[in-house]
Amino acid sequence: MNRRNMVKYSLAMGISSGIGLPRVKAFAASDSFLDLQRGDQRFRLNIFSEQGLSIAAWLLRDKREGAWGIPDPRLLQVLLWAQRELGLIGESRTMVVSSGLRTHKTNSGIEGAAQRSYHLPDQNGLFRAVDLVGAPNRLKQYAEIFETIPGLGLGSYSGHLHIDTRGYDARWTMR
Ligand SMILES: [Zn+2]
């Protein structure tokens, strides 16, 4: 992410903070940290800081093409929200992702991928989807939490849970 995009992103964060998320204003500083893991790389990042956002953008990059995008701020907030909800009942606080940004080239190579996938970047490089991986029970827990948040696309697959911030509710199951 270049400096200009980073500034744009920071602005977007400020504008979208809290929209649609109940009690999100109650986030204390210590609650701003998202435990995000992909493969064997794990970071604890502050999604409200530039450094944290850069790490998230890097972790959620298109690995195949080596391309970075800008994760939708609301997407990170939703992940943080779910992590916090699970933390309240003493569950693991690490969110494990298998996919974030997908370039058009990568997306076209994936069998069954939606042509207008929210993993694709928009004209500003912003993407709105991640895939979470984990044990079936954990994915079910995530889904139950995400279902309470309006405006999300939630897709249950065997092995991963797709989540996107499309702005309206969508649910599907693919087994
Ligand atoms: Zn997905």
Angle between helices 3-16 and 73-88 (to 10 degrees): 60
Question: Which residues in the chain show pLDDT less than 50?
Answer: 7, 10-19, 22-26
| Ligand 1 centroid, distance to 7 Cα (angstroms) | 27
CATH topology (fold) of 3-15+31-174? Muramoyl-pentapeptide Carboxypeptidase; domain 2 (3.30.1380)
**15-44 per-position pLDDT tens digit:** 344 445 544 444 555 678 999 999 999 999
Q: Supply the pLDDT for residue 24.
A: 44
> 45 alpha carbon to ligand 1 midpoint, in Å?
22
**Ligand 1 centre distance from Cα of residue 131 (Å):** 5
Q: What is the pLDDT of residue 48?
A: 93
- Residue 77 tokens read as 């907030």
Helix (H, G, I), strand (E, B) or coil at 73: helix
Q: Going along 39-128, which residue ranges are E strands? A: 41-46, 70-71, 94-99, 126-127
Q: What is the pTM of this model?
A: 0.82
